[in-house]
Amino acid sequence: MDRTSEPSAFADLTIRRFVQRLASSEPVPGGGSASALAGALGAALVEMVAGLSRGRPKYAPYQPTLSRCAAVGHFLAGEFLALADRDAAAYAAYASALKLPRETESEIEARTAAVSAAARGASEVPCDVVRACLGLAEAAEAMAGRSNLNASSDLLVAGLLAEASARGAAENVRINLPATGDEDYAEETRHFLDDALHTIDAMVARSREAVLSGSLRDPEGT
């Protein structure tokens, strides 16, 4: 298939074609887009489990949680897919900045400024992936023990995908921070990543505990 005839959004590719693109020597998609796609799969699982639980008398006490989390899963699935495209665009901009000429003093200054700005963009997008993962992990944890027990393993997978997505995105952030040339921004971002990953890990651990217990929990707010 001619690359120029392919859809511009990764979401419009078949799974097989996305994997083939990922395996190619082309710079994008790469780890950032793959991390975002993992989050999209986790969000879809949250929406699926909510759908398998809503309207069933056994899970009637959890309907507010199920409705909320179904909406969160639906929104985040689209958000992660959009972030996959944004990450590829941000990395492409960074790669282009690195190729700028640097023969003269003015060229060096222009390249340094362009690289710094592009590196910041290439760190901000995966930061947004981590933020989306916080929402995904929270939804999975809220539903654990409050949704269809026959689909509980799917919910645990959603949490694990949130964790993997966040960790992958965080590493893409960290590797780009030095090139921003802004140590204050870099330090603030590192603190955000550390806190976010700790929070996600804790939520996934609670999800795992609730799922493996095989029992239902009290509704939220009780």
* Cβ(90)–Cβ(28) below 8 Å: no
12 in any annotated domain: no
pLDDT in tens, the chain (222 residues): 444 456 678 889 999 999 999 999 887 888 999 999 999 999 999 999 999 999 999 999 999 999 999 999 999 999 999 999 999 999 999 999 999 999 899 999 999 999 999 999 999 999 999 999 999 999 999 999 999 999 999 999 999 999 999 999 999 999 999 999 999 999 999 999 999 999 999 999 999 999 999 999 999 987
64 in any annotated domain: yes
Q: Which residues contact 31 (CB under 8 A, 6 or more apart)?
A: 168, 171, 172
78 in any annotated domain: yes
Spatial distance between the Cα atoms of 23 and 79, rounded to a whole number of angstroms: 24
75 in any annotated domain: yes
Q: Which domain holds residue 85?
A: 28-213
Spatial distance between the Cα atoms of 184 and 190, rounded to a whole number of angstroms: 10
63 in any annotated domain: yes
139 in any annotated domain: yes
Q: Which residue has the tokens 């689209």?
A: 78
Spatial distance between the Cα atoms of 203 and 191, rounded to a whole number of angstroms: 18
| Continuous segment of H or E residues that includes residue 122 | helix 105-143
From residue 61, alpha-carbon distances to 48, 54, 76, 102 in Å are 18, 10, 25, 65
CATH number of the structural domain spanning residue 166: 1.20.120.680
184 in any annotated domain: yes
Look at the chain and report how many structural domains it folds into.
1
53 in any annotated domain: yes
